[in-house]
Amino acid sequence: MKVGFIGLGHMGAAMASNLIKGGNQLTVYNRTPAKADALVALGAKAAASLADACQGDAVMTMLANDAAVENVVFGEGGIIDSLPRGAIHISSSTISVALAERLTAAHKAAGQRFVVATVFGRPDAAAAKQLVVVAAGEPEAIKTVTPLLDAIGRTTYVASETPSIANLIKLSGNFLFVSIMESLGEAIALIGKAGIDRKEYLDFLTSALFDVPSYKLYGGLIVAGKFEPALFAAPLGYKDIRLALAAADDLRVPMPLASLLRDRFLTLLAHGGETLDWSAVGGLASKDANELAA
């Protein structure tokens, strides 16, 4: 399949690499062109412009936030301007539900097709083709891009015919991850201040009760209190909680735990947490309890 790929950060580069390995002809684009070099070495073509990346059957975008996606899609010579009628834009970025709805309408008006395929997993999972993909869009379009989704992940959940639903599910999932950080953070502050060894406690929890990767990974970081280098940076986690709350606003869904998590991120960011891993929100309960001084 002839596919453009826009956005070659850690996640995007790993996904693009797997698309190439999957036998697709890739044209890759990044604002900073040097990031394309490794993929060109694998057989990709470097696009000279955004438009250049929009000449295939599909174009996939993996960008940092709403603003980046808006630029690439709506900007002059962007995807709306350049993608052929009937071709498919696959959006994998974690963006707002509202923007996904705007994209749906704009592509429809331009005679293009639109699929959202959000992904769960960090760059190492992306590199290992172990992403969990949540896709949504018209069944025919989903069917067309399925080989691409199969090339980047270990499983794909087709959630809805409405593309933005895949964004909502991605946001709800990240909310669930941060909820784990908060609950573990409070539990660890409690037992830590009582003098229990934090690591032994977590080992018990994650072997006997919560034998699942998220509890092990985030719990381990919280127990160690080491949040650098960031696997997924706090400002990104904060952005996702805000987007979840924005969707909840529009749907009129009160989410008091999500509100608490938003406040946690704000506290973190107000104290220089920009470079920390998002699991650092799970360290705030210990700070409030003055636990490590105990």
170 is catalytic: yes
Identify residues 48-107 at the interface with a second copy (CB under 8 A). none
Binding of residue 251 to a second copy (CB under 8 A): yes
- Does residue 285 bind a second copy (CB under 8 A)? yes
Q: What distance in Å separates the CA atoms of residue 180 and residue 88, rounded to the nearest whole number?
A: 36
Q: Does 139 bind a second copy (CB under 8 A)?
A: no
Q: Could you tell me the smallest distance in angstroms from the CB atom of residue 89 to a second copy?
A: 22
Span of 61-69, 70-78, 143-151, 260-268 interacting with a second copy by CB under 8 A:
260-268
Q: Which of 126, 247, 276, 280 binds a second copy (CB under 8 A)?
A: 247
255 binds a second copy (CB under 8 A): yes
Which of 62, 11, 61, 18 lies closest to 42, judged by CA?
18
Phi/psi-derived region of residue 86, left when phi > 0, alpha when psi is between -120 and 50, beta in every other case: left
Q: Give whichever of 31 and 271 is closer to a second copy, judged by the CB atom.
A: 271
Element (H, E) at 160: strand 153-160
How far is it, in rounded angstroms, from Cα 53 to Cα 41?
17
Q: What is the spatial distance between Cα 47 and Cα 66, in angstroms, rounded to a whole number?
A: 22
The nearer residue to a second copy, 46 or 97, going by C-beta atoms, is 97
**Spatial distance between the Cα atoms of 45 and 25, rounded to a whole number of angstroms:** 8
Active-site residue (options: 35, 129, 170, 239): 170
The binding track of 166-205 with respect to a second copy, each residue x by CB under 8 A or -, is --xx--xx-xx--xx-xxx-xx-xxx-xxxx---xx--xx
User: In this complex, which beta carbon is closest to a second copy, that of residue 8 or of residue 244?
Assistant: 244
Per the document, the length of the chain is 294
| Of positions 258, 276, 280, 281, contacts a second copy by CB under 8 A | 258
Residue in 1, 49, 47 with CA at minimum distance from that of residue 27: 47
Does residue 221 bind a second copy (CB under 8 A)? no
Amino acid in the structure at residue 19: L
Tokens describing residue 272: 């220089």
Q: Is 162 exposed, middle or buried (0-12, 13-18, 19+ CB in 10 A)?
A: middle
Decide if 158 contacts 98 (C-beta within 8 A): no
Chain residues in the site for a second copy (CB under 8 A): 120, 132, 134, 155, 157, 159-160, 162, 165, 168-169, 172-173, 175-176, 179-180, 182-184, 186-187, 189-191, 193-196, 200-201, 204-205, 207-212, 214-215, 242, 244, 247-249, 251-260, 262-264, 266-267, 269-271, 285, 288-291
Active site residues: 170
